Chains A and B, each alone.
Chain A
């Protein structure tokens, strides 16, 4: 069992829909990252958060440390949002430069 679990694994939506991607983890963390990987392969950091909520444009990320859970929301989805969304966590202990990665959620937004 991966220490970072994402759901769903695959998601198809219609343009304009509200999308939620979930990430659960099993250990104490100091921060959680959300990243986006486009079909061409490039990986871009979207958010880094350790509590509460962050918003950037149509993207919103929330985290509940007690429940060990984070969500990434996309409002008014668009075909250009089609990508793989990856959750990664940084542990509290040890060398906390290293990240533990989820397997990603593949999102397809149809026009």
Chain B
């Protein structure tokens, strides 16, 4: 099993550009999460999903959208990237309470 995978691993965007980060899990988990990690701050939840077709806002949802059209995939979209969205993004999935994390995507917005 690959576990949780994230695509891409690195990306540089210009301000105003859009992009989609893909998270895929092969563990048949119901729950999936998108976090961002910034220096000096704990992981912060952006959006999460409790099952296929559902999404919900986390702590810092502004500027991001998500979709969960298939159970195994959770997409994070940035419609108009801003420098404040420069961060490392982690996806996670869980069946119950233990979360399994992807390797992260390092995004830089210039």
Binding site for B on A (CB under 8 A): 2, 4, 31, 33, 40-45, 48, 86, 88, 90, 97-104
Cross-chain contact B43 with A101 (CB below 8 angstroms): yes
Q: Is B45 an interface residue (CB 8 A)?
A: yes
Q: A31-B97, A48-B97, A48-B98 are in contact. Are A42 and B103 (CB under 8 A)?
A: yes
- CB within 8 Å of A: which B74-110 residues: 88, 90, 92, 94, 97-101, 103-104, 106
**Beta-carbon nearest neighbor of A30 in chain B:** B97
- How many residue pairs, one in A and one in B, have C-beta atoms under 8 Å apart? 50
Bound-state Cα–Cα, A28 to B23, Å:
32
Q: A97-B50, A103-B42, A104-B42 are in contact. List 20 more A-B contacts (CB 8 A).
A: A31-B97, A33-B97, A41-B103, A42-B101, A43-B92, A43-B104, A44-B101, A45-B101, A86-B42, A86-B43, A88-B43, A90-B97, A97-B97, A98-B45, A98-B48, A98-B58, A99-B99, A100-B42, A103-B40, A103-B41
Give the chain A neighbours of B40 by CB distance below 8 A.
103
Is the pair B45, A4 in contact by a Cβ cutoff of 8 Å? no
